[in-house]
Structure 1
């Protein structure tokens, strides 16, 4: 019923706020909690492309009974998407509730950047200063079939322009920005230059990788690395169905590992096989489909899971007696 549906959704919101209470910094616990009443929670369907929050409900006259009836009575849910587009609800929440970069960076930077906050660079980053040195963290890499690697990330200070030389701080490499772009949905637009607070998409940086710090200054502290929750523990062996396609397979593997750092490609030293390791079977299925999209027919093995356990802390001392009860054995385990 609509009432039970609302109760179930309210429990999800309550659980989310419970996690904020548990893990958020004390000064942000109340600020980061969400509420149906203030419009910071939306309900919707990504599949059917409709969505609404309390503001949209009041404006469009939508209720949970309308949603329930649309699905129960087999009505055309396309009407819901026209009346309450999902993108409109989500974008409205972002504009109303997300802090702008010049506000968010003041409390985010001390957590993710270990440089001197009192230095000129530190002050420029904290204040999201367009006129300071350009400092950017690359958070994603996309491979464009025509343009090559596209480095995407948050520009925390400074301005980036076409043709500008930059430093990849982590690897001590230098590069030159061929083109400064900006994503509008799934479309990449050439803009020529972008200032602090934006999310540039940079062409021409062949050596760039996700997690790296980019700057116009050579000596700058790097941002904290990207940490992934899971490790790639499921692996498959792959080989080209036809030997002539081996170079194409190598290139396809190179491209997908640049785009997805959670995929690991290695050579099994015992068998000589090429092995791809991922987070799970679905992750590997996506990887193999991307290889197929590159025009390479491959043969794969069955997925193999490498499962290992270890300890994180020192244990208590435990005692056991020998079968004849004459000997006592004491033991504890601790990390190496």
Structure 2
């Protein structure tokens, strides 16, 4: 069965429509061979405006089994680079439509371009981000975020919460859940015996309790239990060395305790900066939501209002997200 990947174009005021159209152009040779199908989900008005202004090819409304097409939603063109309720509404409706079609079997996976949280909230959808929105739409409980850049993968015990609340949320059940989801995801990616490290919450993994006891009380018993059951799990590994070790090939993934601990190393590797101007151009990296009843991947960057509409946004992260979705879909189909 040919995979159909649904791409939600995100907030139309950002770079989402641009990178979605560019990704469609990038994959055109593979799409023409029937390797898979792409469906862009967004308003025809917003996608059409971006296509015209940047001289990009605009797919037609999807018909049957054609390689590339649009699944349209209602919505008008918006002011590029500006927060708006209309932009937030379209971003929400695109995700909702993608989830509906994927859960109905019309799409094999959903790949999301970025939305703007302020616009989303102005539209009345008060979710901290895509992860929580997708959990609500799919009825999933206790999902988790994994960021990936090539073979560099980081899942998160906590994400969009205050740093002061992390120790209270990094409970034994939650850590076990994220560890299980991480191991499962790695196996879906073809890694038969995953090697996973758990990052320490405290500096130096607590230095024997001098800098806190969470790593000793919570993490160490979890690691001991998983190792006793035959899993190649390590930790707690201090946060200032664990990602270097993974980059060196020691681990297939790291479980991070909180948002910035996991996001900073992935984005440091993936950000693309113009050396002449210092301007942000794009980001390689993928956001994968673990624990959903559907396959969902995403770009690992925001709406980039500052460069939207200029034609310089790079589609590399979206291309990588589509590749990851195809890998996960193929493994599930197998």
TM beyond 0.5: no
More strand by share: 1
TM-score (norm 2): 0.23
More helix by share: 2
User: Over alpha carbons, which structure has the higher Rg?
Assistant: 1
Instruction: Report which structure shows greater RCO (CA 8 Å, sep ≥6).
Output: 2
